[in-house]
């Protein structure tokens, strides 16, 4: 006696046996909820390099209009370094991979009224046809569905200070443990507990790579955190080979490629660290909880430094986009 689920599964099984899945598994047509931009579709179909970009950084990470300007600049950097940018956000019940100018503008203007969307929120935002800005975790899910394996952002979420009481651990970290996308970032902000963040990434089986002439895991605004990174690599080819080996092994884990902020943009880091301490003290006195914590801290640090942190933030994102674009180019050549 076959269950109805087994009966329904039969035609699909036949398709699998006929090689359907093997031939088409990396093409996203099978995901009806994805809408690729023409440029991204073109790049995917030719095996050309692509870099995914997140959108929470636009809606919740920076004020308008710098957020939209930065998003455009970052896309330009990706193009100039040889890859196609794919900024990801949720509009009208679809995952948009590659945004047009109007969509970027809509997202930037909407700001915090957009839903900050991590794994937990994806299905709810899509089903309710809301405007969703994807975090690192949400962007990784969408990038992987679209067949994109390199993603650039500013910083990843992590284990929050005091997590031993609050259990506030970013969904970015568990996503890195289950979704094979390389996240190129400037490490994590010292609003977080960085030693615990590295411990948690080890538990999740995520290789963390310090990129360039450094042995340390970078702390976003500062090139140094005082913590050694488990791996160090100096070239895009080395990182591309890591990503390829991970796939060859069939591992479903992502990678953190941590690029120190360029020296010339790191000047304000002492002032920024002071602002971070103040912002954390304010957070502790407030009743802000959960997913509102990170946006609150990001906003206060920008305000307290009078924009110094914003300038550094923009510089490091562009730098990460450049590195990601080169890694993606190297990977595309390696697998072609």
Q: Does 157 help bind ligand PSU (rule: CB under 6 A)?
A: yes
Catalytic residue among 116, 189, 291, 318: 189
Rg over alpha carbons for the chain, rounded to the nearest Å, is 20
Cβ 57 vs Cβ 50: under 8 Å:
no
- Binding Mn ion (rule: CB under 5 A), the pick from 168, 172, 175, 193 is 168
Q: Does 155 help bind ligand PSU (rule: CB under 6 A)?
A: yes
- Binding ligand PSU (rule: CB under 6 A), the pick from 77, 86, 115, 136 is 136
Cβ 182 vs Cβ 245: under 8 Å:
no
Distances (CA, A) of 163 to 152, 159, 167, 304: 26, 6, 4, 25
Q: Does 189 help bind ligand PSU (rule: CB under 6 A)?
A: yes
Ramachandran angles phi, psi of 213, nearest 5°: -85, 60
Single out the residue of 265, 154, 175 nearest to residue 220, CA to CA: 154
Nearer to ligand PSU, 200 or 220 (CB): 220
- Binding ligand PSU (rule: CB under 6 A), the pick from 61, 108, 207, 260 is 61
Distances (CA, A) of 173 to 41, 253, 328: 29, 10, 22
Nearer to ligand PSU, 96 or 291 (CB): 291
**Minimum Å distance from CB 49 to ligand PSU?**
23
Binding partner at 298 among ligand PSU, Mn ion, none, C-beta below 5 to 8 Å by kind: ligand PSU
Taking residue 261's Cβ as centre, other Cβ atoms within 10 Å add up to: 26
Cβ 149 vs Cβ 143: under 8 Å:
yes
**Cα 70 from Cα 148, distance rounded (Å):** 22
Q: Does 318 help bind ligand PSU (rule: CB under 6 A)?
A: no
DSSP 169: B
Residues from 269 through 308 that contact ligand PSU (CB under 6 A): 291, 294, 298
271 carries an active-site annotation:
no
- Binding ligand PSU (rule: CB under 6 A), the pick from 37, 44, 56, 197 is 56
Single out the residue of 135, 143, 154 nearest to residue 261, CA to CA: 154
17 carries an active-site annotation:
no
Binding partner at 144 among ligand PSU, Mn ion, none, C-beta below 5 to 8 Å by kind: none
Binding site for Mn ion (CB under 5 A): 168
The binding site for ligand PSU (CB under 6 A) comprises 54, 56-57, 61, 135-136, 154-155, 157, 170-172, 189, 220, 291, 294, 298
List the catalytic residues.
54, 189
């Amino acid at each position: 006696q076959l269950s109805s689920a087994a009966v329904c599964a039969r035609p699909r099984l036949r398709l699998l046996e006929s090689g359907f899945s093997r031939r088409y598994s990396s093409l996203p047509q099978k995901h009806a909820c994805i809408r690729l931009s023409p440029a991204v579709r073109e790049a995917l179909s030719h095996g050309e390099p692509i870099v995914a970009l997140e959108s929470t950084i636009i809606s919740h990470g920076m004020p308008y209009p710098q957020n939209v300007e930065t998003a455009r600049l970052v896309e330009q950097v990706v193009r100039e370094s040889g890859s196609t940018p794919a900024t990801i956000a949720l509009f009208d019940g679809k995952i948009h991979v590659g945004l047009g100018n109007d969509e970027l503008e809509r997202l930037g203007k909407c700001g915090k009224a957009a839903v900050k969307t991590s794994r937990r929120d994806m299905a709810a935002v899509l089903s309710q046809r809301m405007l969703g800005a994807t975090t690192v975790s949400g962007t990784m899910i969408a990038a992987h569905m679209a067949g994109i394996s390199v993603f650039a952002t500013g910083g990843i979420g992590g284990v929050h200070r005091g997590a031993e009481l609050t259990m506030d651990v970013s969904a970015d970290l568990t996503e890195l443990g289950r979704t094979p996308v390389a996240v190129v970032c400037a490490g994590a902000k010292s609003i977080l507990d960085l030693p615990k963040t590295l411990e948690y990434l080890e538990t999740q089986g995520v290789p963390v790579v310090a990129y360039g002439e450094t042995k340390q895991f970078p702390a976003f605004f500062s090139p140094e955190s005082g913590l050694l990174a488990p791996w160090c690599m100096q070239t895009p080819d080395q990182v591309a080979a890591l990503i390829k080996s991970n796939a060859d092994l069939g591992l479903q884990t992502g990678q953190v490629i941590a690029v120190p902020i360029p020296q010339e943009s790191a000047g304000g880091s002492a002032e920024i660290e002071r602002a971070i301490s103040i912002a954390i003290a304010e957070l502790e006195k407030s009743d802000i909880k959960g997913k509102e914590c990170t946006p609150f801290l990001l906003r206060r640090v920008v305000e307290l430094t009078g924009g110094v942190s914003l300038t550094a933030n923009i510089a490091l994102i562009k730098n990460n986009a450049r590195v990601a674009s080169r890694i993606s180019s190297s990977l595309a050549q390696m697998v072609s």
